[in-house]
Amino acid sequence: MSTISIVGVLVHAKPGRLDAVRAGLLALPGVEIHEVTEDGRLIVIAEEQPEGQPGDRLSRTVTEINNVPGVINASMIYQHSETEESGDAAQVA
């Protein structure tokens, strides 16, 4: 059995750095950008990497996003985990 975890993160980019922040976020494994506002806020969904303990993975993902050059702040706004059983794909709505 493996655990699938996703997090929703609100990211605020520095003025004039939005394109660089987008590129930096998309370079991270499992990260997708779902919405971008004109004032530099991004809604990001990240599928957690399987290594480590679940709490460690959550911290590491938000820390990696915060470390992208041009990010003012990244705050986790949603988290969901579920267990995948015997190869069946878990669906997250």
90 found inside a domain:
no
50 found inside a domain:
yes
Check the CA dihedral 70-27-58-78 and report its sign: positive
Of residues 90 and 14, which shows the higher confidence score? 14
- The enclosing domain of 38 has a CATH number of 3.30.70.920
Does 90 have pLDDT greater than 50? no
Q: Which domain holds residue 24?
A: 2-84
Instruction: Give the model's pLDDT for residue 77.
Output: 93
93 found inside a domain:
no
51 found inside a domain:
yes
Give the Cα separation of 70 and 84 in Å (integer). 36
Radius of gyration of the chain (CA): 14
Q: Give the pLDDT band (50/70/90) at residue 93.
A: very low
Total domains in the chain come to: 1
8 found inside a domain:
yes
Give the Cα separation of 80 and 74 in Å (integer). 17
Q: pLDDT (tens digit, 9 = 90+) per residue, 29-81?
A: 889 999 999 999 999 999 875 655 555 666 788 899 999 999 999 999 998 88
pTM score of the predicted model: 0.79
Strands 2-13 and 71-84: antiparallel
43 found inside a domain:
yes
91 found inside a domain:
no
